[in-house]
């Protein structure tokens, strides 16, 4: 690289909802300050700068807008933006100021990948680009939210949506069905009605667990990767799902030493690295979200490659910064944002 280089900032699992008693996000001023800081660093002739919202940026599930089709999801997104005007105003300012903004949907905002909902996001944040499945920057990073490796949260249709083979994310995985039903539970109880709804949904929950091991259709190249590599990446995710299924069985049997899903996700990153190695496209960093556990872990038996996880914004305000400096020197770090000093420090 002979130009000024590039720098990417990753945030995941903000879970901004539509306000009210179930709202999980209450740190708007600090987040808006970070976005303004990132935008202020954009300068003509300087490094290209990009903000990547790596899944569960908004929470359509808690907003009661998931699993009801694109119109309901778009309306839910509008309600979320109205509940967090400071953040969305900062995003719009940053986009107009030259900060590229990419959005990768997670399991709580999967409908952002649907074209009508992506257009609604674009109206709120001009220029924001939705990448339905993953982000690949040659020589630097492969990033995804992480739900594709999780037995209860995998969307088998996602590769097909990302490569044009279909235009929806349904059927929903088991956890999405359960979470949507729970979000619709009336405040103050109605326990019996909720149990009836869960019992009625039992076949969908069971079918979701079976479908999680299914493979998605890949229609074309995407993210600078050939279709064959994308198929192999999806196969690697299925292997992770099977490993997670065994982990869940061990946990159900109360087997001691059963790892958490967060502890298994570096293994998923290593599977992805092995795929990219077959296609001559390895990168030094694999960035995920989903677990809410911030991490910076060297990949076992993979020289010079690392797994990083942004963690959740609340309570630690963690993020991941990656870059390619002139001369193609790659760097990456897990950071924490301090809104008082307006500084990012090593986490």
Instruction: Give the mean model confidence (pLDDT) for residues 102-110.
Output: 96
**Structural domain includes residue 181:** no
The model's confidence at residue 189, banded by pLDDT at 50, 70 and 90, is low
Q: What is the pLDDT of residues 81-94, one digit of tens each?
A: 999 999 999 999 99
**Structural domain includes residue 204:** no
Question: Which CATH number do you get for residue 331?
Answer: 3.60.21.10
94 or 5: which carries more pLDDT confidence? Answer: 94
Nearest-CA neighbor of 107 among 139, 73, 61, 143? 61
Instruction: Give the mean model confidence (pLDDT) for residues 253-273.
Output: 92
Question: Which of 173-187, 191-205, 275-289 has the weakest average pLDDT?
Answer: 191-205
Q: 131 pLDDT exceeds 90?
A: yes
Residue 190 has a pLDDT of 63
Residue 279 has a pLDDT of 97
Q: What is the pLDDT of residues 156-168, one digit of tens each?
A: 889 999 998 888 8
Residues 130, 113 contacting (CB under 8 angstroms): yes
The model's confidence at residue 1, banded by pLDDT at 50, 70 and 90, is very low
C-alpha distances out from residue 243 to 95, 147, 173, 261, Å: 40, 14, 17, 10
Mean per-residue pLDDT over the chain, rounded: 90
Contacts of 307 (CB under 8 A, 6+ apart): 265, 266, 269, 270, 286, 287, 288, 295, 296, 297, 298, 299
**Structural domain includes residue 308:** yes
Question: Which of 130-134, 156-160, 287-291 has the weakest average pLDDT?
Answer: 156-160
Q: What are phi and psi of 250, to 5 degrees?
A: -65, -40
Residue 213 has a pLDDT of 74
Taking the C-alpha atoms of residue 225 and residue 247, their distance in angstroms, rounded to an integer, is: 31
**Structural domain includes residue 127:** yes
Residue 169 has a pLDDT of 83
188 or 47: which carries more pLDDT confidence? Answer: 47
C-alpha distances out from residue 53 to 9, 11, 71, 327, Å: 8, 5, 22, 27
Instruction: Give the mean model confidence (pLDDT) for residues 242-261.
Output: 88
The model's confidence at residue 303, banded by pLDDT at 50, 70 and 90, is confident
Taking the C-alpha atoms of residue 52 and residue 102, their distance in angstroms, rounded to an integer, is: 5
Residue 301 has a pLDDT of 77
What range does the domain containing 330 cover?
Answer: 6-145+223-346
Instruction: Give the mean model confidence (pLDDT) for residues 290-306.
Output: 92
The model's confidence at residue 241, banded by pLDDT at 50, 70 and 90, is very high
Q: 194 pLDDT exceeds 70?
A: no
Residue 128 has a pLDDT of 97
The model's confidence at residue 199, banded by pLDDT at 50, 70 and 90, is low
Q: Calculate the dihedral angle through the C-alpha atoms of 222, 153, 64, 185, rounding to the nearest 10 degrees.
A: 170
Sign of the Cα pseudo-torsion (219, 223, 225, 231, in order): negative
Q: What is the domain count for the chain?
A: 1
Q: 197 pLDDT exceeds 80?
A: no
**Structural domain includes residue 299:** yes
Question: Which of 1-10, 104-113, 128-137, 192-201 has the weakest average pLDDT?
Answer: 192-201
Instruction: Give the mean model confidence (pLDDT) for residues 120-148.
Output: 96
The model's confidence at residue 129, banded by pLDDT at 50, 70 and 90, is very high
Supply the DSSP string of 229-297, one letter for each residue.
Answer: HHHHHHHHHHHHHHHHHHHHHHHHTT-TTPPPHHHHHHHHHHHHHHHHHHTT---SEEEE-SS---EEE
Residues 117, 63 contacting (CB under 8 angstroms): no
Residue 210 has a pLDDT of 64
Q: 186 pLDDT exceeds 70?
A: no
Supply the DSSP string of 99-138, one letter for each residue.
Answer: -EEEEE--TTSGGGGSHHHHHHHHHHSTT-EE-SSEEEET
**Structural domain includes residue 176:** no
**Structural domain includes residue 78:** yes
Instruction: Give the mean model confidence (pLDDT) for residues 310-331.
Output: 91
Residue 209 has a pLDDT of 66
Q: What is the pLDDT of residues 12-71, one digit of tens each?
A: 999 999 999 889 999 999 999 999 999 999 999 888 999 999 999 999 999 999 888 999
**Structural domain includes residue 114:** yes
Residues 313, 32 contacting (CB under 8 angstroms): no
């Amino acid at each position: 690289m002979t130009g000024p280089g590039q720098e990417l900032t990753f945030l995941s699992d903000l879970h901004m909802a539509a306000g009210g008693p179930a709202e999980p996000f209450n740190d708007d001023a600090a987040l808006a300050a970070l976005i303004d800081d990132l935008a202020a660093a954009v300068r003509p002739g300087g490094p290209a700068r990009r903000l990547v919202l790596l899944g569960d940026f908004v929470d359509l599930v808690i907003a009661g807008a998931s699993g009801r089709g694109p119109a309901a999801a778009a309306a839910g997104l509008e309600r979320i933006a109205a509940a967090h005007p400071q953040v969305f105003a900062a995003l719009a300012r940053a986009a107009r100021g030259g900060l590229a903004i990419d959005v990768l949907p997670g399991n709580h905002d999967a409908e952002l990948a649907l074209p009508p909902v992506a257009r609604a996001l674009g109206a709120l944040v001009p220029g924001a680009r939705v990448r339905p499945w993953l982000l690949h920057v040659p020589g630097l990073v492969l990033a995804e939210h992480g739900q594709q490796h999780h037995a209860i949260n995998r969307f088998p249709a996602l590769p097909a949506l990302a490569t044009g083979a279909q235009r929806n994310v349904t059927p929903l995985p088991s956890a999405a069905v359960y979470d949507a039903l729970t979000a619709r539970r009336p405040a103050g109880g109605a326990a019996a009605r909720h149990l009836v709804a869960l019992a009625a949904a039992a076949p969908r929950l069971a079918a979701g667990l079976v479908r999680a091991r299914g493979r998605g259709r890949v229609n074309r190249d995407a993210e600078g990767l050939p279709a064959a590599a994308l198929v192999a990446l999806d196969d690697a995710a299925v292997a992770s799902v099977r490993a997670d299924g065994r982990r869940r069985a061990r946990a159900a049997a109360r087997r001691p030493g059963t790892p958490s899903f967060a502890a298994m996700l570096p293994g998923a990153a290593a599977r992805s690295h092995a795929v990219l190695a077959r296609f001559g496209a390895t990168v030094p960093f694999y960035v995920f979200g989903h677990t809410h556990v911030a991490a910076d872990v060297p990949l076992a038996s993979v020289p010079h490659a690392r797994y990083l996880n942004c963690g959740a914004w609340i309570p630690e305000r963690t993020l991941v910064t990656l870059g390619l400096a002139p001369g193609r020197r790659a760097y990456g770090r897990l950071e924490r944002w301090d809104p008082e000093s307006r500084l990012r420090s090593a986490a």
